[in-house]
Structure 1
């Protein structure tokens, strides 16, 4: 490297110093780099896990004149990751007000798309959840989750300005509409996620304990009614509690996740995964257990827990109600979805057809989660000079 090139390199590095006030420089010092690292680790684990599950999925879906290469799903997932990571970073650079407006507009659009699913949606594995054709199919509910939770956070934050605003019944009605649309697909698992996000936001927004108790009771009553009158819920709960009907998926998932013992069979050494339906999506956690061991499954659970703890600890001194609710809601979304998926794989919950965030294969899921994580990173950005001594701020030439 010549002297001129070395000087140019030093200047480029210096531009990312704390004195840099460019948009990129501000983003670099304001972003929660620990949170970004945890998210990046999960995406990387997802690529490795999809590579492990891809031969099983390719074998299962080959046929009728179509033969998939063993790593077919890995290469497709790599493509989605290459698209999703810039999307996540781009959204994370948005100012908070712009991010809020983006979420409100997106929530309105994808609610309309969700309502259109029964009319123009396509059937996949017995469910109408997708819109589009072939490679261009997308699942509106996946995109709606992060955008809708930010919209709920904004509505509930209005209570701080005017306690008389009926935002609680309004948000309840919105969640009810979404729940009806989801259950028609049918998608009982996503219905639970939306309901849980709403409950968490209500609790954090400071509603009365009596209301929370009533809502918990109503939620329990809703599950009972779903069991009595909603055939999808009845079948899955009966399969889980009594072992009735077709338990093939959960039985194979249990055999796969325990097949590798504590340390696993090693990459590519799994055998039980070839008998596992949806090994690359809903049951990828079981594939990880077989090839990388239960210790890897435990490590993934701790990473999700670390994300939740990291965000909630960071929100302890957050003064803006909307920012606090939005970040908490997005964290609740990823935490609840991960918990449900892992519980299903461990036979601790009924099968729900839900992916493991940032790890399972899927284009809609990956891009939607990238948007959600980008919003989370945007709402957890902090000015590094905010709590500094005024003498230090002056010395650095910052305001």
Structure 2
């Protein structure tokens, strides 16, 4: 064990936060999985716990492996991965899976393993690295808007356009995080305003096309409308889940009912994923709720520290770009469970069950730890990240 710890580099506080969240997750996941066993009638609680354990162990392997990679490779790697991501998104969208008449083509099956993989989460991670790369390379240059449209915004628009039909919430989160990263990275504010306007116009155009030709695509827009209506009127499937989540929160009180003693887990369909925060409050009370919030904000604080201590512009933007979405996703999940935000389908990072979310979160954390572990990087080595050079070094 001591030998393994010696090989662990980077911010030890971030390592500790990840371990705490992972260990804590076992109890709410084990408790909430009873809904899937006794209500839905699939699997066993022990089986779900083992699956969650395996996913987390694989996640830690990902963190360890990624944090050993010099972070300068992520810059060129984002350029290499962008076409791969586009192909994966096209393939995922072409699956044509529908749920209740709505497009739900978010997942692809990993061959020979049978595990579902949500390609949009990988796409979001790659885009953040790609944006950090562009901003770092143009930090000391005057940005020409027309040139940035082709080099920066065209790939972003293509990826987001492929995610949007099946997953509006993820599209909105990625777009918001890119705007924030561009603001932090010094992209001209008036150009950010142009991009936001173009993005809203593109969204309106998509909605109009979906409304005008409902048979041409599975009408995901209707799902968005239903969720907003359910949020405002507290009815429908989403409204039912929110009501049960509010009951769970109210029942929890100050210290909760105790680990494994949740009642509402038997009525919440997404009790182990989207609404797991409500189960945490019911079992651990407001004390447990604030502890979870504190841990995520501590993670945010350490992300900011890692970005501040980074030796290069790309390293700082990389940490901010892949780190902030983790905390932002956690805030959205907790806001949904508390009925402060419409249902989005976003999980609670490192706590909710689910493979893709855990793995991509761990990949992002590995990148952050790679930056915090670096000692002697220089700006020159960061700028020398041509994808062909990366391939040559790898081979």
Could you say which TM-score interval applies, normalised by the shorter chain? 0.7 to 0.9
Q: Does 1:89 align with 2:55?
A: no
Q: Could you tell me whether the CA contact under 8 Å between 1:54 and 1:72 is conserved in 2?
A: no
Aligned CA distance change for structure 1 residues 224 and 317 (closer, same or farther; 3 Å): same
**Corresponding residue for residue 235 of structure 1:** 226
Structure 1 residue 70 displacement after superposition: 2.6
**Corresponding residue for residue 21 of structure 1:** none
**Corresponding residue for residue 197 of structure 1:** 177
TM-score, structure 2 as length reference:
0.82
**Corresponding residue for residue 268 of structure 2:** 276
Tell me how far apart the structure 1 counterparts of residues 169 and 277 of structure 2 sit (CA, whole Å): 17
Tell me how far apart the structure 2 counterparts of residues 234 and 122 of structure 1 sit (CA, whole Å): 20
Tell me how far apart the structure 1 counterparts of residues 115 and 309 of structure 2 sit (CA, whole Å): 43
Tell me how far apart the structure 2 counterparts of residues 252 and 190 of structure 1 sit (CA, whole Å): 24
**Corresponding residue for residue 121 of structure 2:** 142
Q: Does 1:171 align with 2:171?
A: no
Q: Could you tell me whether the CA contact under 8 Å between 1:142 and 1:368 is conserved in 2?
A: yes
* SS in structure 2 at match of 1:380: helix
Is the deviation greater in 240-249 or in 147-156?
Answer: 240-249
**Corresponding residue for residue 70 of structure 1:** 45
Tell me how far apart the structure 2 counterparts of residues 227 and 336 of structure 1 sit (CA, whole Å): 26
**Corresponding residue for residue 387 of structure 2:** none
Structure 1 residue 43 displacement after superposition: 1.6
Aligned CA distance change for structure 1 residues 382 and 95 (closer, same or farther; 3 Å): closer
Aligned CA distance change for structure 1 residues 316 and 84 (closer, same or farther; 3 Å): closer
Aligned length: 360
Structure 1 residue 164 displacement after superposition: 4.5
Q: Could you tell me whether the CA contact under 8 Å between 2:265 and 2:271 is conserved in 1?
A: yes
Tell me how far apart the structure 2 counterparts of residues 318 and 136 of structure 1 sit (CA, whole Å): 36
Tell me how far apart the structure 2 counterparts of residues 152 and 207 of structure 1 sit (CA, whole Å): 11
Tell me how far apart the structure 2 counterparts of residues 254 and 223 of structure 1 sit (CA, whole Å): 32
Q: Could you tell me whether the CA contact under 8 Å between 1:91 and 1:99 is conserved in 2?
A: no
TM-score, structure 1 as length reference:
0.81
String of CA shifts for 1:145-201, please: whole Å, max 9, x gaps. 22221122112222125435623664333332222222212x111011111121111
Q: Does 1:184 align with 2:171?
A: no
* SS in structure 2 at match of 1:131: strand
Bigger radius of gyration: 1
**Corresponding residue for residue 393 of structure 2:** none
Equivalent residues in 2 for 1:355-370 (5 A)? 355-370=347-362
* SS in structure 1 at match of 2:39: helix
Identify which of 91, 94, 109 aligns with 1:132.
109
Structure 1 residue 51 displacement after superposition: 1.2
Structure 1 residue 288 displacement after superposition: 0.8
String of CA shifts for 1:189-231, please: whole Å, max 9, x gaps. 1011111121111101112333344555666777777888633
Structure 1 residue 112 displacement after superposition: 1.5
String of CA shifts for 1:121-147, please: whole Å, max 9, x gaps. 655685111112783321111222222
Aligned CA distance change for structure 1 residues 322 and 276 (closer, same or farther; 3 Å): same
Aligned CA distance change for structure 1 residues 259 and 105 (closer, same or farther; 3 Å): farther
**Corresponding residue for residue 334 of structure 2:** 342
Tell me how far apart the structure 1 counterparts of residues 251 and 332 of structure 2 sit (CA, whole Å): 21
Structure 1 residue 101 displacement after superposition: 3.5
Tell me how far apart the structure 1 counterparts of residues 176 and 370 of structure 2 sit (CA, whole Å): 23
Equivalent residues in 2 for 1:193-342 (5 A)? 193-215=173-195, 230-243=221-234, 245-246=236-237, 247-342=239-334
Identify which of 149, 154, 175 aligns with 2:133.
154
* SS in structure 2 at match of 1:71: helix
* SS in structure 2 at match of 1:184: coil
Is the deviation greater in 119-128 or in 175-184?
Answer: 119-128
**Corresponding residue for residue 100 of structure 1:** 75
Q: Could you tell me whether the CA contact under 8 Å between 1:256 and 1:276 is conserved in 2?
A: no
Q: Could you tell me whether the CA contact under 8 Å between 1:138 and 1:364 is conserved in 2?
A: yes
Q: Could you tell me whether the CA contact under 8 Å between 1:49 and 1:287 is conserved in 2?
A: yes
RMSD: 2.9
Unaligned runs of 5+ in 1: 1-11, 17-23, 387-399
Structure 1 residue 238 displacement after superposition: 2.1
Aligned CA distance change for structure 1 residues 104 and 190 (closer, same or farther; 3 Å): same
**Corresponding residue for residue 80 of structure 1:** 55
